[in-house]
Amino acid sequence: MVRKRDPNLLTDYSCFRCGEQVCWGELVRILRTDPEQEDWRQWELYAHRACLRSVLRAEVPFAMGRHWTSGEPLPDDSDQIDGQPCGFCAGEIGPEGLTRLRLQNPVGTVRAPAFDEESVPVHTACLRAASHSRT
Ligand SMILES: [Zn+2]
Ligand SMILES: [Zn+2]
């Protein structure tokens, strides 16, 4: 039997934007995959769908058109990162200020995690400014 997650169930994760706990139905996982960060699993953030949409510029599709099954290598996302403006402020990003974000929508089961995802480049400073706890 496949265990499905109850969309109304609260997760243990709090939203990076508003600081409130997020339920499964609204959860977006955000992976920071900056090249200099070797262990990307340490750089997970979480957000309410609406909170994330509110900080993304309107042109970001937020359609999660790519599929990733957990455990497989992350799909190439350079076409959504390279030369693209900041997903928050639309400004140009130099290589030193770049933070790569993968926005992931959980679509798998508890046993077999999978995600629909989309990548957005942002300024490291913009990410910090958008965060609830600015540590
Ligand atoms: Zn929130
Ligand atoms: Zn920016």
Say if residue 133's pLDDT is above 80. no
Q: Residue 25 in contact with residue 49, Cβ under 8 Å?
A: no
CA 26 to ligand 1 centroid distance, Å = 9
Predicted confidence (pLDDT) per residue in 12-39, tens digit: 999 999 999 999 999 999 998 876 666 6
Confidence at residue 46, expressed as pLDDT on a 0 to 100 scale? 96
Ligand at shortest distance from the CA of 120: 2
Confidence at residue 5, expressed as pLDDT on a 0 to 100 scale? 75
Ligand at shortest distance from the CA of 16: 1
User: Using CA of residue 44, residue 50, residue 55, residue 61, what is the dihedral sign?
Assistant: positive
Domain ranges of the chain: 10-130
CA 94 to ligand 2 centroid distance, Å = 10
Q: pTM here?
A: 0.88
Say if residue 1's pLDDT is above 80. no
Confidence at residue 38, expressed as pLDDT on a 0 to 100 scale? 62
Surrounding residues of ion ligand 1, Cβ less than 5 A: 15, 17-18, 48, 51
